[in-house]
Amino acid sequence: MVQACPAGVGQSLDEVETPALLVDLDAYERNLGLMAAALAGRDVRLRPHAKTHKSPIIALEQMARGAVGVCCQKVGEAEALVAGGVPDVLVSNQVVGAGKIASLVDLAAQARLAVCVDDARNVAELSAAAAAAGVTLGVLVEIEVGMGRCGVAPGAPALVLARQVAESPGLELQGLQAYHGSAQHIRTVEERRAAVGRAAEIAAETAALFESNGLACPTISGGGTGSLPFDLEAGVLTELQAGSYVFLDADYARNETPEGSPGFAHSLFLLATVMSLPQPGRAVTDAGLKALAFDSGPPEVWQRPGVSYVGPSDEHGTLELSGEASLGYGEKILLMPGHCDPTVNLYDWYVGIRSGRVERVWPVAARGAVS
Amino acid sequence: MVQACPAGVGQSLDEVETPALLVDLDAYERNLGLMAAALAGRDVRLRPHAKTHKSPIIALEQMARGAVGVCCQKVGEAEALVAGGVPDVLVSNQVVGAGKIASLVDLAAQARLAVCVDDARNVAELSAAAAAAGVTLGVLVEIEVGMGRCGVAPGAPALVLARQVAESPGLELQGLQAYHGSAQHIRTVEERRAAVGRAAEIAAETAALFESNGLACPTISGGGTGSLPFDLEAGVLTELQAGSYVFLDADYARNETPEGSPGFAHSLFLLATVMSLPQPGRAVTDAGLKALAFDSGPPEVWQRPGVSYVGPSDEHGTLELSGEASLGYGEKILLMPGHCDPTVNLYDWYVGIRSGRVERVWPVAARGAVS
């Protein structure tokens, strides 16, 4: 049920068992540094999303470079993060159901924990559980700012919910979550800027409404890797939830980037083996639907001009070779996943590579933490 | 890294933590029985594909109903199956790389093991490793029969490879693999019948060529759940690799079924919770891209007219409610996955349900066995 570890420290890339999830450590560390530099001197905190990497080790490396804590989406992820020593976690999501709420409250006795709400019944349940356990849960009221998923309507409905939170034992109203997920993947700079700007306005208005009604709103949390320059430009968010910047993926590569962006680079790859060369122009690798996420399209073949990944099946990936391109029997290739988060969730191990050697092997501790 | 088990035996469905992978035990057992009945009295063996379920427990239940063994795609899967007591496994795939071949040879010392080949270099490597270890590996020559993936060309090229296998120490030529994966999902009965018929003809001709050249070809292995009636009609395969029949999925439901088909029913479901009701007409569940495979489309909402699953994000599934449809806060719903195999691979546990109660909880032993 746990994958055998595909690599040992000191091995060469050729010795790594495939498919394996590789991290280019130079690029990964540069990404961490670029984010720290982008936020240096600004009045905004970084709370990167750990749903991307599911690793307390990476979370602590982010905190060592200035992040105030991390977010995650599931209580199971929060458990893995707290167990790995992360002291401050926002579950940037609704936690519904007695079992999950009990686990959340247990965590709040061990670390600084906060959660999002968009429903009065949920607030009542969270309060009852936290109060009974004698712990305090931080709470952000999640408002709908344009993505059409969760979140109470901004303005008056958000105020009603915020008041309920403020009056509920065991809960501490910390502010708002105003996350616009779909804006991360709007391709053009101008449209992305506009969507992020509208979301920021909505958030600012609701925060002002809270304050004019005597409710403090110290935190406005949201944002992502795709919207980072515009989130900074708008200047409304007090906490940035960007997560994908540590790795990037083929989908982020399709976004236009505005001038002055931090210049994050791809650091996450799949190492795959050419396992069949059935006819000229076609090769087959050992990485298919169970080795990569395809919701944002197929992976891109890394630095092999003329080679494209054209067809996944469950355990195979068919490659098309054009022009002079060729691949050898048993050769290893690098694939850049279409979407980093759900690809990471298929693996139990990161294999950290530097200068062609395995330097670190670390677990995807919250792999499979779906609940 | 291993998911917490979402259920305990005896619990009601309401007590199961979500998202959870459910098996309707009545439907599952009926599917096993229907397959046994469909093959009773026929001169064909069943070697169901364990890549679907990744469970030695299910494999042994299939064997108890007449299967001669199982297939799987990866050495890691074979390891989990053999460790769980399965005595006969075909890796219906190419196994490339010294590490994987060494593991395969280790398994061949513990169980009856066979593997597919489509490359002379691979045959040489398998032979060297098997001979050095003093074991015998069964070998099927995989031929291309229409799906455009792995496989040597039928006819003369296959004969050359078969001869090499027959002459290689440590290897036993057992015959052919003639699998037409894409034929499983051809929608209309007539087109599916035609594709399967062509594949069968190709396989029969190559088998005859082997035999006229003094090479025995006792096994012709292939077929699947979608092609079963036509595989039986064609009468060429000696071993059927159907796997999905134990569970089915939304994609198989889109196939036309010919008269006289066994009548397999959906037995695999995702249990999900309604975690947000942000506005009339919209609900959000806790099952998104990390809880379901989307390569064959979104899941179908089971027996809830007017409720459709319209949009996944990593950890959310947005539902649209039309007409009179409504859902309650915290309510549990069943989703029928678009594609069973990669959905199963996201979970460590099956929760077996009968009459609304948890009757069995068993591990997805080869979850994540990508190599």
For B302-347, the pLDDT digits (tens) are 999 999 999 899 999 999 999 999 999 999 999 999 999 999 999 9
- The answer to whether B275 contacts A370, with C-beta atoms less than 8 Å apart, is no
Residues B117, B136 within the same domain: yes
A40 interfacial to chain B (CB closer than 8 Å)? no
From residue B172, give the alpha-carbon distance in Å to each of A260, A332, B165, B169. Answer: 63, 29, 7, 8
| Whole-number pLDDT of residue A224 | 95
| Whole-number pLDDT of residue A65 | 97
What residues contact residue B104 under an 8 Å CB cut-off, 6+ apart? B75, B78, B91, B95, B113, B115, B126, B129, B137
Residues from chain B contacting residue A289 (CB–CB below 8 Å): 293, 295, 339, 341-342
* Residue B371 within any structural domain of the chain: no
Q: What is the mean pLDDT of residues B167-173?
A: 98
CATH of the domain at A308: 2.40.37.20
A-contacting residues in B 220-279 (Cβ below 8 Å): 273-279
Chosen domain end from B246, B281, B302: B246
A-contacting residues in B 89-108 (Cβ below 8 Å): 93-97, 99-100
Query: Would the pLDDT of A1 be above 90?
Result: no
Question: For the segment A157-205, what is each residue's pLDDT rounded down to a tens digit?
Answer: 999 999 999 999 999 999 999 999 888 889 999 999 999 999 999 999 9
Mean pLDDT over each residue of chain B, to the nearest integer: 96
Residues A195, A329 within the same domain: no
CATH of the domain at B54: 3.20.20.10
Residues B60, B201 within the same domain: yes
- The answer to whether B273 contacts A144, with C-beta atoms less than 8 Å apart, is no
The secondary structure of A24-78, three-state, reads EHHHHHHHHHHHHHHHCCCCCEECCECCCCCCHHHHHHHHHCCCCCEEECCHHHH
| Whole-number pLDDT of residue A258 | 85
**What percent of chain A is modeled with pLDDT above 70?**
100
Residues B124, B151 within the same domain: yes
ipTM: 0.96
Residues A241, A277 within the same domain: no
8 Å CB contact between A137 and A104: yes
* Residue A358 within any structural domain of the chain: yes
Query: Would the pLDDT of A257 be above 90?
Result: no
Residues B214, B351 within the same domain: no
Residues B44, B93 within the same domain: yes
Closest CA to B370 of A341, A16, A4: A4
B280 interfacial to chain A (CB closer than 8 Å)? no
pTM for the whole structure: 0.97
Residues B211, B279 within the same domain: no
- Per the listing, tokens 């597919």 go with B116
8 Å CB contact between A127 and A168: yes
Q: How confident is the model at residue B350 (pLDDT cuts 50, 70, 90)?
A: very high
A-contacting residues in B 338-357 (Cβ below 8 Å): 339, 341-342, 345-348
Residue A12, helix vs strand vs coil:
strand
From residue B226, give the alpha-carbon distance in Å to each of B66, B143, B262, B265, B334. Answer: 20, 20, 11, 13, 24
Chosen domain end from A223, A248, A273: A248
- The answer to whether A329 contacts B152, with C-beta atoms less than 8 Å apart, is no
Can you tell me the distance from the alpha carbon of A274 to that of B287, in angstroms, rounded to the nearest whole number?
Answer: 34
8 Å CB contact between B298 and B355: no
A-contacting residues in B 297-336 (Cβ below 8 Å): 311-316, 318, 329-330
Tell me which residue range forms the domain holding B222.
Answer: 26-246
A364 interfacial to chain B (CB closer than 8 Å)? yes
Can you tell me the distance from the alpha carbon of A327 to that of B289, in angstroms, rounded to the nearest whole number?
Answer: 32
Can you tell me the distance from the alpha carbon of A69 to that of B139, in angstroms, rounded to the nearest whole number?
Answer: 54
**H/E segment holding residue B159:** helix B156-166
8 Å CB contact between A347 and A54: no
The count of residues in chain A is 371
Residues from chain B contacting residue A318 (CB–CB below 8 Å): 148-149
Nearest CA in chain A to B311: A149
8 Å CB contact between B314 and B288: yes
Tell me which of A96, A118, A125 to substitute to probe the interface with B (most B C-beta atoms closer than 10 Å).
Answer: A96
Query: Would the pLDDT of A10 be above 90?
Result: yes
A54 interfacial to chain B (CB closer than 8 Å)? no
* Residue B275 within any structural domain of the chain: yes
A6 interfacial to chain B (CB closer than 8 Å)? yes
> What are the beta bridge partners of residue A361?
A351
Can you tell me the distance from the alpha carbon of B27 to that of B25, in angstroms, rounded to the nearest whole number?
Answer: 5
Residues B278, B224 within the same domain: no
| Amino acid at the residue A257 | T
Domains in chain B, number: 2
Question: For the segment A224-236, what is each residue's pLDDT rounded down to a tens digit?
Answer: 999 999 999 999 9
The distance in angstroms from the start CA to the end CA of chain A is 17
